[in-house]
């Protein structure tokens, strides 16, 4: 913590002697210069927009020490004044004390006495500065909570902050989603505490007064008071070094409290309009770049769903690689990739529900998380996240369990029993349960012991037998009702299953009923 000081005396030998013979830097004091009189001092104080300490003579041309003290007490009331004089007159000392002068020393100045006074003054100033800074930090933290996290009200701003200019830095941890799944809650809490403490320590190291606050799970907002003529370069360098696995996103211009909510919101949005690549440092730009909006080919979605339902793992890997390569070729942003992947997972889930006629159990997908949690640095990681979500869908729908195929076949059989009297085909049923015709034929044979045509013909013959026994319909009418357009083919199939023609079957069953 450094304090600024100006020495004012119309005798250069005294002002230069006080400035150069005492090792002020060892006490944390920077002598910014000397002044010849009160008017010269006022100009230099204004140039620096205020100083911490003034050592001034009383008797000087133009403006004397008392006039200088009057000006300082009016415009810079926090500046501490030590007055030196060759006149041991009570009226001077009394007037000086009324103007807030802390000590009144007689020339020639006793250096030991001056240093003793300065030590007491420094102790007092440090205590006051610490109290003031703590108050400012407390007000700033509450203001951030109100303006960024709750309901912003630019009209209700603390006087302490009203005219202050602020700087904003967002830090986000790369691959944070994997940390969530790897660490316990306590470990994750410790990680975030260390992260916040590091950001605050970097502010303190660079003499920046500010606070840090998590505004989302993976977004730490660091806000600090802007000091003119103080570059942020060293602060950013230190943060890059200490937070090497984080993205540091700086707002290059200062903001006022009333702008906090909108600027922070825009910065968060801007993070996800960045290219997918690892950055240590990035700068927010007010002008947003035009975002290229695309979608993924629907055939990829359908093929991926089929591969999932069939548990064709090599095919799943291949389709995901194709999709990720497609995203990469289109040069789309992280936010857009997350939106597309989220839509893809929702579509796959919906199709699985429709096909399997069941609700999944306990599926927590990565792409259902908030976007800040999914800050990743490569398309390869995007592919890994998609595959992780697919594994969770497979588990959630119990697709790896032995009875999974029974769900498909039960639905297929229910559909066939409802529509066997129509011109039903294996392709139609395969489409209904969302699998390929060949795979359907294989599963169907395993389930029923019959091929598709045998099974359908069996249903049709059973229904025709009932109609022959219970209705007066003619045989060609019954053939049409059970799904046969050709009478001759119906007779052939019926005889193959029953061992007699439809006419003979009606005669036999009728005679039995008459007995």
DSSP string, 255-316: B-GGGHHHHHHHHHHHHTTS-SS--SEEE--SSPPPPPP----HHHHHHHHHHHHHT-HHHH
The predicted pLDDT at position 228 comes to 67
Residues 361 and 255 occupy one common structural domain: no
CA distances from 277 to 202, 240, 266, 281, 385 (A): 25, 16, 20, 12, 16
Domain with 77, as residue range(s), is: 3-109
Residues 230 and 336 occupy one common structural domain: no
Residues 81 and 175 occupy one common structural domain: no
244 domain-assigned: yes
Residues 471 and 388 occupy one common structural domain: no
Judge contact between 463 and 421, C-beta under 8 A.
Answer: yes
The predicted pLDDT at position 344 comes to 92
User: pLDDT tens digits for 423-476?
Assistant: 999 999 988 887 778 778 878 888 889 999 999 999 999 999 999 999 999 999
User: What are the tokens at 97?
Assistant: 């004390």
Q: Which residues pair with 219 in a beta bridge?
A: 216
370 domain-assigned: yes
User: What are the tokens at 379?
Assistant: 């398309």
Residues 392 and 425 occupy one common structural domain: no
Give me the DSSP letters along 172-203. EETTHHHHHHHS-HHHHHHHHHHHHHHHHHHH
Judge contact between 239 and 202, C-beta under 8 A.
Answer: yes
Judge contact between 229 and 165, C-beta under 8 A.
Answer: no
Q: Which residues of the chain have pLDDT under 50?
A: none
Residues 248 and 224 occupy one common structural domain: yes
The structure's pTM equals 0.69
How many separate domains does the chain show? Answer: 4
The predicted pLDDT at position 154 comes to 61
Judge contact between 416 and 371, C-beta under 8 A.
Answer: no
The predicted pLDDT at position 290 comes to 65
d(CA 209, CA 166): 10
Residues 10 and 33 occupy one common structural domain: yes
Task: Reply yes or no: is the peptide bond before residue 108 cis, omega within 30 of 0.
Answer: yes
On the 0-12 / 13-18 / 19+ scale of CB atoms within 10 A, 163 is exposed
Give the containing element (helix H, strand E) for 69.
Answer: helix 65-75
């Amino acid at each position: 913590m450094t304090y600024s000081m100006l020495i004012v005396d119309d005798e250069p030998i005294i002002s230069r002697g006080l400035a150069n013979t005492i090792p002020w830097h060892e006490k944390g004091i920077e002598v910014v210069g000397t002044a010849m009189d009160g008017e010269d001092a006022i100009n230099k104080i204004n140039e620096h927009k205020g100083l911490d300490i003034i050592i001034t003579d009383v008797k000087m041309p133009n403006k004397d020490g008392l006039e200088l003290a009057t000006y300082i007490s009016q415009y810079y009331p926090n500046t501490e004044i030590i007055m030196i004089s060759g006149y041991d007159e009570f009226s001077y000392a009394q007037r000086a004390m009324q103007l807030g002068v802390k000590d009144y020393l007689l020339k020639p100045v006793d250096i030991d006495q001056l240093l003793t006074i300065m030590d007491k003054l420094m102790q007092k100033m440090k205590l006051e500065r610490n109290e003031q800074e703590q108050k400012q930090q407390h007000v700033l933290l509450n203001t951030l909570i109100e303006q960024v996290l709750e309901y912003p009200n630019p009209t209700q701003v603390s006087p302490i902050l009203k005219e202050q200019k602020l700087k904003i830095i967002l830090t986000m941890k790369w691959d944070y989603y994997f940390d969530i799944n790897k660490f316990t809650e306590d470990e994750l809490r410790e990680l975030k505490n260390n992260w916040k403490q590091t950001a605050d320590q970097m502010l303190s190291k660079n003499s920046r007064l500010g606070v840090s606050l998590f505004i989302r799970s993976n977004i730490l907002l660091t806000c600090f008071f802007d000091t003119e003529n103080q570059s942020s370069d060293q602060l950013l360098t230190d943060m890059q070094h200490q937070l090497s696995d984080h993205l540091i996103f700086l707002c290059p211009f200062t903001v006022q409290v009333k702008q906090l909510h909108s600027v922070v919101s825009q910065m968060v949005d801007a993070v996800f309009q960045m290219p997918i690549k690892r950055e240590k440092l990035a700068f927010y730009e007010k002008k947003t770049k035009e975002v290229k909006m695309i979608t993924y080919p629907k055939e990829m979605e359908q093929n991926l769903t089929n591969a999932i339902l069939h548990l064709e793992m090599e095919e799943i890997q291949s389709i995901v690689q194709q999709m990720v390569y497609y995203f990469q070729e289109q040069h789309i942003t992280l936010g857009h990739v997350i939106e597309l992947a989220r839509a893809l997972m929702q579509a796959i889930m919906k199709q699985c529900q429709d096909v399997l006629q069941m609700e999944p159990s306990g599926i927590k997908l990565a792409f259902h998380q908030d976007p800040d949690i999914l800050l990743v640095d490569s398309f390869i990681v995007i592919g890994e996240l998609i595959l992780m979500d697919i594994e969770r869908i497979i588990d959630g729908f119990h697709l790896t369990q032995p009875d999974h195929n029974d769900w498909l076949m039960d639905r297929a059989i229910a559909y066939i029993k409802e529509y066997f009297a129509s011109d039903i085909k294996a392709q139609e049923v395969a489409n209904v349960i969302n699998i390929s015709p060949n795979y359907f034929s294989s599963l169907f044979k395993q389930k029923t012991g019959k091929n598709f045509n045998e099974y359908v013909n069996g249903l049709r013959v059973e229904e025709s037998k009932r109609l022959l026994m219970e209705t007066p319909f003619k045989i060609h009418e019954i053939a049409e009702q059970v799904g046969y357009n050709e009478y001759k083919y119906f007779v052939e199939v019926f005889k193959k299953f029953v061992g007699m023609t439809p006419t003979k079957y009606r005669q036999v069953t009728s005679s039995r009923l008459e007995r």
